[in-house]
Structure 1
């Protein structure tokens, strides 16, 4: 065996070892606990005298997929519950795949896991494209059995908030104008919850906060290259995290499960804990 051949074989071996190690790391990242991210957002229409609240944002559970077993879903719900948010908002894609039979099989796991989330102001959810493609009625029923409020182009009030749940833009179920109309009829600081963040540029000026998921923050993000694919019309504009554009704030979570391959790299599963409050600073205490 020549020196050149030995060198080539060694390079191939090291490359294979590195590739296997990378896949193992990506598998562990996809199956691990959610990273807890925190942010603080002021809302201009916050009710006078109302204290701040903490909202948990999660999305893209994809139960039934390779990275989200029923047991892991329970663990993740327990992790969120342990943070003791005042309100939980879930931005769609509860189901893995696009088949009705998958949604039917996953329904008991959804109900069992979401019963463990009991924030004081409740849990609100919207459906995602996978839910709409599989069995939206079945997914909705499973969540409602767990006490979750499921919104489809509708709005509700929770504490100091008026929450509008917009249908998924990616699968053509969004009715933004109708949701905004219902939202304006409610007292409270306004926010929108939806699956895909693509409708952000169309938000009315009197609604300043949008919470979404869908992008998985790229799911596989390579050094120097970035995300291999972001399923969004606006590309990287609303790919991940907190995006501020003028008076508008968009928060996009990485999600908890995976799509296609049960792997994550550089985009770990996450849950956002957002402290929402008014724009006015509290008056200083009088000195004694």
Structure 2
């Protein structure tokens, strides 16, 4: 065990043994999970056509509705998303926490339908979407909400004679991800973005002609300890946890902290976020 791993486990053990102060506990459970942050990024490339200059793409991820995140909160999130007037909306997986136990009805479909993305709304499967026999029922809800599934396939976004590529792969843990199939028939010289739920898959994605990867899954660790960092992240989110990373010669990875929580209903020094990307042409 290296020093960093030891410190993390020690901090987690101390917190578990002695507990945290009542005020800290209340903050981590009741306050910070609702402190939604807007994170802004600019995607700059000489491969982005001038006609796409200024295009706004909003990513949200990991809502985990049903586990301490309600439909009313999802409705408030949809209003927040719309307030930023995105051109395109991306959802990078894990809509509800336990699909087999969730009360599916028209309400969640209406909320998803109310999210505005005039130039497209796209989504990919996360592990919780496939888990609990959710594959088909989650897809039906997202379809009804006007979101297009990218499951080992892609969409060509066009403006006049110009185009860029947006691809998506199936969930890495419980699906059958196939990047080669997702990019089949695309122009390798076009500006190419891909949605992959699990961020650590970027180490494979860097071998492909991809410029940007959007991921979630990690929740940023949910709980971070000062001077130590996150205590735990799930499989395939252990290397790349939050924020942006330059991987290889070409790939830029963006990992969202997501919206909801799972396993434990806490966030500490790791507020939920949505990310607004703006394209900037260097042509």
Q: Deviations over 1:131-190 (max 9, x none)?
A: 1012111101101111111111111123443110111113242111111214448x9521
Aligned to 1:174: 177
Please name the residue that 1:152 is paired with. Answer: 151
Q: Distance in 2 between matches of 1:33 and 1:141?
A: 30
Where does 1:1-288 land on structure 2 (aligned, <5 Å)? Answer: 19-66=21-68, 68-97=69-98, 99-102=99-102, 105-106=103-104, 108-134=106-132, 135-159=134-158, 160-184=163-187, 189-203=191-205, 204-233=207-236, 235=238, 237-245=239-247, 246-280=249-283
TM-score by length of 1: 0.83
The number of aligned residues is 259
Task: Evaluate the alpha carbon distance shift between residue 274 and residue 29 of structure 1 in structure 2; reply closer, same or farther with a 3 A threshold.
Answer: farther
TM-score (norm 2): 0.85
Listed as ranges, the gaps of 5+ residues in structure 1 are 1-14, 281-288
| Partner Cα distance (1:60, 1:271) in 2 | 10
Aligned-pair Cα RMSD in Å: 2.1
Three-state SS of the structure 2 residue aligned to 1:115 is: helix
Contact kept in structure 1, 2:198 and 2:236, CA below 8 Å: no
Unaligned runs of 5+ in 2: 1-17
Pairwise CA distance, 1:199:
1.4
Change (3 A) 1:179 1:29: farther
Q: Deviations over 1:226-273 (max 9, x none)?
A: 1110113462x3100111233210001011110112111111110000
Q: Which structure's CA Rg is the greater one?
A: 1
